[in-house]
Amino acid sequence: MTETASKNTCALLLAGGAGTRMNGKDKGLMHWHDRPMAHWVAEALSAVTTPLLISANRSLKDYRLLGHVLQDAPDLKGQGPLAGLLAGLTEAQKQGFDAVLVCPCDTPGIQPEVFRQLIDAWHEQPEYPVIAQCAGRSHPLHGVYPVSLISLLETQLRDDNRRVMVFAEAAAARTLDCPDAADAFKNRNRPEDLVT
């Protein structure tokens, strides 16, 4: 972990989803390779930057074992991952950070090296977010977002647009190619995804 990274960024684990494709179960607490998925992601994030913020709307006691739990604003509950990102950016700004390094709880194969590369890329142009890309596909929930985007994100959510890629594009996000990280970005959001 570089000194600069530890000063300017904090980590944000998104674990606030409804788990619809997981039969309503809390996705982050579902086990992959004998551990809850959120634990794998929390470990990878914390290896790169701290503190760890966690966006969660249930199982709060479990998530508090991993980090500082945030809940969506009351008027934004059920608004998806962007509401969690907004909560994280707002808390990061309160704590004096410039940006959040974000990752969803359903990619437990993610590795710290991907996060290090994202932070390094963000430092090159810190006014813009950086998101991961692999095999031509963008991963807007794996990236670094500056706290300066709070008002833009609030506006998009108030306009009832919850599309993450729309927000990344509106924020002029740059992409970082991660050609060797296909497994790291594999979403495990169905029960059958947990056995591989």
Residue 7 is predicted with a pLDDT of 52
Instruction: Identify which has the larger pLDDT, 181 or 29.
Output: 29
The 10s digit of each residue's pLDDT in 27-40 is: 889 887 889 999 99
Residue 26 is predicted with a pLDDT of 82
- The residues spanned by each domain of the chain are 3-186
On the question of pLDDT at 1 being above 50, the answer is: no
Residue 70 is predicted with a pLDDT of 94
Whether domain 3-186 has CATH 3.30.565.10: no
Residue 35 is predicted with a pLDDT of 92
Mean pLDDT of 56-77: 89
Mean pLDDT of 85-111: 95
Place of tokens 């991952």: 81
Integer Cα distance of 146 and 188 in angstroms: 27
101: left (phi over 0), alpha (psi -120 to 50) or beta: beta
Give the sheet arrangement for strand 137-146, strand by strand.
Answer: 68-70, 52-55, 9-14, 99-104, 137-146, 130-134, 174-177
On the question of pLDDT at 18 being above 60, the answer is: no
